[in-house]
Amino acid sequence: MRLEEEEDGVPATALREIAILRELKHPNIIELQHVFHTDKSLYLAFEFCDSDLKQYMRSIGNMLPAAAVQSYCWQLINVISRCHSHRIFHRDLKPQNLLVQPARGVLKIGDFGLTRAFQLPLRAYTHEVVTLWYRAPEILLGAKEYACPIDMWSVGCVLGEMATGKPMFPGDSEIDELFKIFQLLGTPAENTWEGVSKLPDWQSKFPNWRRCNLRTSYAALSTNGVGLLEGLLAYDPRVRLAGKDALAHAYFDTLDTESVGKGPIR
């Protein structure tokens, strides 16, 4: 990080990232090994990982084996659940920020630049978080408060992308992003998301799309996998699957969690 143009020294975002990475130690979090500081630059030295998930998927033709999808998804939910238990949410989960070591079958979270610690009661946070394609609908609709469920929505988007090799909601603007979500999951209403009509950016004139059958759209996932996807992509943040509940989902019943991260996924 170049510091020549920083009038106040090291940016607060960098200090926050360093502090969080020092606090959180987990096999699925990238390890911060050294911090070097000069008058003009700040260097963060991390452990080496072969690739990010996006690059890795591209290198194998965007066709992850079903076992890899299951293992990587479990690892992602496991570590996010750990972060949430420490009252920390990531706010920028996407394949480019997930690092993999295929020879060990390991997935790690990287890039904690937008990560925040939170306290109860929640307060308002910036909406300039989470890359557009992985941004939860409550943020897109202007909710003043948000917390851990925004990460779980992003996990759902990553799961769908791993299963098909394609982003679920590749919008080119906030309104296009919303419409792509509505076209797949149906336009929300008070009976599917209580309070949605009171969100600042809700419009009663939004087109009314019917929900698609995810079992057809995401046939690459098992029936249980689609069930997990539906739980992660629940519109109402209050009923969206939390990390600990997602880990107990039937989708992972066939996963040997004791062997995860100890060799290639077969």
Q: Which residues are catalytic?
A: 92
For residues 108 and 75, what is the distance between their CA atoms, to the nearest angstrom?
8
For residues 244 and 81, what is the distance between their CA atoms, to the nearest angstrom?
6
Which pair of structure tokens corresponds to residue 155?
Answer: 């996990």
For residues 152 and 73, what is the distance between their CA atoms, to the nearest angstrom?
11
- The amino acid at residue 183 is Q
Helix (H) or strand (E) holding 107: strand 106-109
For residues 266 and 264, what is the distance between their CA atoms, to the nearest angstrom?
6
- Locate the DSSP E strands across the chain: 32-37, 42-46, 51-52, 88-89, 98-101, 106-109, 116-117
For residues 91 and 97, what is the distance between their CA atoms, to the nearest angstrom?
11
